Chain A
Amino acid sequence: GIQVEQSPPDLILQEGANSTLRCNFSDSVNNLQWFHQNPWGQLINLFYIPSGTKQNGRLSATTVATERYSLLYISSSQTTDSGVYFCAVLIKAAGNKLTFGGGTRVLVKP
Chain B
Amino acid sequence: DTAVSQTPKYLVTQMGNDKSIKCEQNLGHDTMYWYKQDSKKFLKIMFSYNNKELIINETVPNRFSPKSPDKAHLNLHINSLELGDSAVYFCASSQGDPRTLSGNTIYFGEGSWLTVV
A residues near B, CB below 8 A?
Answer: 30-31, 33, 35, 37, 41-45, 48, 50, 84, 86, 88, 90, 95-100, 102-103, 105
Chain B residue numbers with a CB within 8 Å of A37 are 41
Binding site of A, secondary structure by majority: helix, strand, loop or mixed? strand
Tell me how many residues of B have a C-beta within 8 Å of chain A: 24
> Could you tell me if A30 and B42 are in contact, using CB atoms closer than 8 angstroms?
no
Asked if residues B100 and A98 are in contact (CB atoms below 8 Å), the reply is no
CB distance from B50 to the nearest CB of A (A): 12
Q: Are B106 and A33 in contact (CB under 8 A)?
A: yes
Q: Which residues of B contact A41 (CB under 8 A)?
A: 88, 110-111, 113
B56 touches A84 (CB 8 A): no
| 30 CB < 8 A contacts A-B | A31-B100, A35-B108, A41-B110, A41-B111, A42-B108, A42-B111, A43-B108, A43-B111, A45-B105, A45-B106, A45-B108, A48-B104, A48-B105, A86-B43, A88-B106, A90-B100, A95-B56, A95-B99, A96-B98, A96-B99, A96-B100, A97-B48, A97-B56, A97-B99, A98-B98, A98-B101, A100-B42, A100-B43, A100-B44, A103-B41
